[in-house]
Amino acid sequence: MDLSTRAVVTACLAAGVAVAAYFGPVPLAAAAAALALVVAVGWPRLLDVPVHGGTRVVVALAGLGAVGATAATRGEPALRHLPVVLALAVVLAFVAELLRRDGRPRLVESLSGTVSGIVVATSCAGWIATGRTDAGASLVVTCAVALAIASAVSALPLGLWAGGLATLALAVVAGGAVGWAMPDLDMQSGAWSGVVAGLLVASLHALFDQLPDLRGRLGALSASALPVAVGGTLIFVVGRVIVG
């Protein structure tokens, strides 16, 4: 899967989150759960983890658990159960390693890869929490659109630094424009959403572009979902700190 294809997949996933937020909290939770599963299915391939099955199961359970716990939470803080989910998922990661019967080669690499996948998958719950902020669906839509624009720009053959700067700049412009058009946001808040989206896409493009495992479909699929998944928690911070 080449860069342009991954950019299209990232843009489609971001658009899916935006559409789900428009229709309400239940579709948004379903979209977050689906995003966590997309991360889980390709994560061991992306990081070349020795045993794929156990990592996929643990990362998927962590993501679904975080989404379910956040969706079921009433009142504030919306992410108050997330530390418990993370802790239980880390314990499951150790259990998965103990259940291995292959002599446990590359144990530390396998465990660290699983734990990093847990962090990414649980970050999907941030989209649900963002939908409950004062800006709500407007903030989710703004960040998702900025992610889609940043992904499209990152596929242009501009070179590493020029491409990164162009990705960031156009994501900020797109976020500011959408924020200005949204009823519960302003241009400044939208621009900050664009900063989050642009930095995520540009940095992850620079990080993963040279990895050979991205030639595999599952690894590339997980890499494509990564900026959208991590963006959930980061945009929640923007909603709390900047929007209020």
> Domain range for residue 12?
3-243
Tokens of 166: 């162009």
Residue 60 pLDDT class (50, 70, 90 cuts): very high
Residue 76 has pLDDT above 80, yes or no: no
pTM of the complete model: 0.88
pLDDT in tens, 93-110: 999 999 888 888 888 888
How many domains, in total, are found in the chain? 1
Which pLDDT score is estimated for 41? 93
pLDDT in tens, 131-186: 887 777 888 888 888 998 998 888 787 777 888 899 899 999 999 998 888 877 78
Q: What is the DSSP string of 16-35?
A: HHHHHHHH-HHHHHHHHHHH
Whole-angstrom Cα distance, residue 60 to residue 237? Answer: 24
Place of tokens 């979902």: 225
pLDDT in tens, 3-40: 778 888 988 998 899 899 888 889 999 999 999 999 99
pLDDT in tens, 192-213: 888 988 998 888 887 776 665 5
**Dihedral (C-alpha) 135, 242, 8, 31: value to the nearest 10 degrees?**
-40
Which pLDDT score is estimated for 43? 92
